[in-house]
Structure 1
Amino acid sequence: MKTRLSILILLLIVNLSCKKESQKTTEQSDFKNEVYSGPIIDMHIHAYNGQTGGMMFGMNHPNPLKNETYKGVKTPEEQKTETFKKFSEHNIVLALTSDGELWDEGESDKILISGRNMPLDSLRKMAKNGKLSAIGELNPFYGGITADHESQKPYFDLAEELNLPVGFHIMPGGPPGGIYYMGMDKVRVKNANPKQLEEVLVSHPKMKVYIMHGGWPYLEDMKAMMYAHPQLYIDIAAIDWILPEVEFQNFLKGLVDSGFGKRIMFGSDQMVWPETIDIAVDAVNTADFLTMNQKEDIFFNNAARFLNLSEDKIKEYKSE
């Protein structure tokens, strides 16, 4: 009798364990099948004209990491038209756009301007006129220097003074293996670690910064930086389409599992290859470890909070 009872208890435990494992598998499968279709904020877009980014028009982007090539648009007009088509297709309601003043006229309901490569007085004037939402991208990486270089301090000082966030670019830059052969011969991988921002954050405690491209590939250092500095966010632009899906999602999972899912923001880094927006959105939607709430945070909520959108504006976007 005692033996039979022990066997029954053992069978019950095994049965419950199998049910829990089955339920877990089902839940993971459900996550994978859940496609977010609400509003999206793209925190990393570029506007170009003949002078700004002109050399990129008509340039295809080879990506040997995925054995893909992305077709480049040929004119500034085509870039704008095709980018806005992708905005409509994916319900992208706001786009923080470097050099966004080029697209501001008639499109100001979607475009938030991020100012870069201009004198401090021009940035200050734009901010005074209510035309500046962020400063960036700052990219001393291309010049072979880091965030704590004295040349960058005036931009961080101005951002803190004006209560504007800063977008800071590190890795990656350019196609894999192509950085040094496109005129960017000062770029060095040793200057790509996100820890370079530590003294900047400490000396500007009121300034919000987001690291573009997620601080990849420095996952552990990125965790440490986000743990130490609550004003630090990231976008996942470019790495969500240029990296193989497994590598991107492993990196993203590492940050989410560490508790930083509320400070990860969607971005595409769309330049002249509109299809990369499709790939970027899909990379998040197919991440089977993300719940729908986590996807909503990445696609919209985190950026809305970072940009200090009003509650009324948030409700408006979510009701459309």
Structure 2
Amino acid sequence: MKTRIITLFILMFIIYSCKNEDQQLKTGNEKVNELYKGPIIDMHIHAYNEEIGGMMFGMNHPNPLKNETYKGVQTPEEQRVESFKKFEKNNIVLALTSDGQLWFEEAPDKILISGRNMPLDSLRNMAENGTLSAIGELNPFYGGITADDESQKPFFDLAEELNLPVGFHIMPGGPPGGIYHMGMDRVRVRNANPIQLEEILVSHPKLKVFVMHGGWPYLEDMKAMLYAHPQLYLDIAAIDWILPTKELHNFLKGLIDSGFGNRIMFGTDQMVWPETIDIAVDAVNSAEFLTIEQKEDIFFNNAAEFLNLSEERIKELKSK
């Protein structure tokens, strides 16, 4: 009897020891998700005044995909102040801003102006004055028009002539179901595929273009476009706060695993909901499959390369 009890205790001890050792091995092999805390370049954000974005002020944004609602600011001044607070909190050192001329005087070292919905002459004048960093967002998608429509060609021609990059907006177009409200009745999913840019890129080989919102949900077509056209980049603005985190990560991982981690840029598409900046930063930082080096590429390095920032400027920004 005593022998059986002793044997039982020995067996229990061995089982416990094995389990404990196995747990220690698992713990030792677990990948630590390192958070990126360095400087960030936001490649897609908006500045508004009453004329440009008046209808949006005070508008909350319900997001049924995540069962969340984002609170809208009430005035252009509140939008600017709260956005700048988020810049400071998240170490956003540069922001390519559609209609950035509205914020430029407040922070000329931080705001890069992107010309949006402007006549060609105005864009040219701004470029010649040295105040224009990009053209975009170009968003014919809202009018049911694709990139290869003849009406868009003058903008791409001008951008190539002036050596300015272009931000081209496709999906998502407004909130889920936006076709049925907010005057977005011309939006069509069939016009959202990034392949629509192919003839533009071929006919403008010196032109740099970035697909706003990453070409989601057309992952395979986006990979094909990146493979074929090395001058094409993308930002993950809006999809990094409006999509469920798992869906964003699946999309990101597909691009990373295909070797395109050096052409993914961070963006927020922050309009009148400043909290979405925090959500977007956290969504990338929470991606455990990304190394800290890959996060740095997405948050900073890829945009610095795309914007042709000088080594001195990069060094300055990384010191902040």
Q: TM-score, normalised by structure 2?
A: 0.91
Query: Separation in 1 of the partners of 2:298 and 2:157?
Result: 28
For 1:119-198, list aligned pairs within 5 A.
119-198=119-198
Residues 43, 303 of structure 1: 8 Å contact kept: yes
* Other-structure match for 1:279: 279
Q: Given the superposition, is the C-alpha separation of residues 169 and 24 from structure 1 closer, same or farther in structure 2, using an over 3 Å criterion? A: farther
Q: Percent identity?
A: 80
1:155-304 correspondence to structure 2 within 5 Å: 155-304=155-304
Distance 1:226 1:23, change over 3 A: farther
1:168-198 Cα offsets, whole Å, 9 max, x none, are 0000021111233111111110000000000
- The structural deviation recorded for 1:109 is 0.8
TM-superposed CA distance for 1:108, in Å, is 0.8
Secondary structure of the residue aligned to 1:176 is coil
In the TM superposition, what is the alpha-carbon distance from 1:105 to its structure 2 partner?
Answer: 1.2
2:18 alignment partner in structure 1: none
CA 1:241–1:24: 2 relative to 1, 3 Å: farther
Give 2:100's aligned residue. Answer: 100
Alpha-carbon distance, 1:24 to partner = 9.0
2:58 is the counterpart of 1:48: no
SS in 1 for 2:52: coil
1:312 is matched with: 312
- The CA deviation string for residues 125-157 of structure 1, in whole angstroms up to 9 with x for no partner, is 000000000000000100001000000000000
Match of 1:53, SS state, is helix
Is the 1:38–1:91 Cα contact (8 Å) retained in structure 2?
Answer: yes
Q: Is the 8 A contact 1:180 1:187 kept in 2?
A: no
Q: 2: distance between equivalents of 1:258 and 1:133? A: 30
Q: What is the rounded CA distance, in whole Å, between the counterparts of 1:280 and 1:61 in structure 2? A: 15
SS of the aligned residue for 2:113 comes to strand
2:85 matched to 1:88? no
- Highest Rg: 1 or 2? 2
1:23 Cα offset (Å)? 8.6
Match of 2:111 in 1: 111
The answer for the alignment partner of 1:63 in structure 2 is 63
Kept in 1: contact 2:178–2:184 (CA 8 A)? no
- Please report how far the alpha carbon of residue 106 of structure 1 lies from its aligned counterpart in structure 2 after TM superposition: 2.8
Matching residue of 2:10: none
For the residues of structure 2 that align with 1:24 and 1:117, how far apart are their CA atoms? 54
Q: Secondary structure at the residue paired with 1:38?
A: coil
Residue aligning to 1:5: none
Would the alpha carbon gap of residues 146 and 306 (structure 1) be closer, same or farther in structure 2, given more than 3 Å must change?
same
Instruction: String of CA shifts for 1:240-262, please: whole Å, max 9, x gaps.
Output: 00000000000000000000000
Q: Distance in 2 between matches of 1:318 and 1:91?
A: 10
Asked whether the equivalents of residues 179 and 186 of structure 2 are also in contact (C-alpha less than 8 Å), the reply is: no
Relative to the length of structure 1, the TM-score reads 0.91
Per-residue deviation, residues 203-232 of structure 1 (Å, max 9, x unmatched): 000000000000000000000000000000
Going from structure 1 to structure 2, the CA distance change for 1:24 and 1:305 (only over 3 Å counts) comes to farther
Structure 2 CA distance, aligned partners of 1:262 and 1:97? 22
Structure 1 SS opposite 2:50: coil
- Output the aligned Cα RMSD: 1.3
Matching residue's letter, 1:173:
G
Alpha-carbon deviation of 1:317? 1.1
Structure 1 pair 184–293 and aligned structure 2 pair: CA distance change class (3 A) = same
Instruction: Provide the C-alpha distance between the structure 1 equivalents of 2:116 and 2:167, rounded to a whole number of angstroms.
Output: 10
CA distance in 1 between counterparts of 2:210 and 2:87 reads 22
Which residue is 2:5 aligned to? none
Q: Which runs of 5+ in 2 are unaligned?
A: 1-21
